[in-house]
Amino acid sequence: MDPADLPGYAAALHDHAITQPEPMRLMRWGQLEFTTGATAEEDRDTFLAARRHASDTAGGRVFPAHADESPAEGSERH
């Protein structure tokens, strides 16, 4: 990919999506399954909470000495 040729990259991406539609179909299917009927903001908050939990769990495996430490009181993760 050449950063100076973004239109060329977009065209190549489009051509790939046309010749290989399966990955795009799978991504769209996944988006349909994720829909819970909640608002977009509620879906986003649920997704971010799950992502934070997964990250914290993985961090506890990588850095077991710090697994029991919690963020400083009053600080908030975004």
10-25 CB burial, b ≥16 within 10 A, e <16: eeeeeeeeeeeeeeee
Q: Which position has the higher pLDDT, 74 or 58? A: 58
pLDDT at residue number 58: 79
pLDDT tens-digit readout, 9-68: 999 989 998 999 898 888 888 777 666 666 777 778 888 888 888 888 877 776 666 555
pLDDT at residue number 8: 92
pLDDT at residue number 68: 56
Tokens, residue 22: 């399966």
Residue 30: phi and psi, rounded to 5, are -60, -40
**At 34, which amino acid appears?**
F
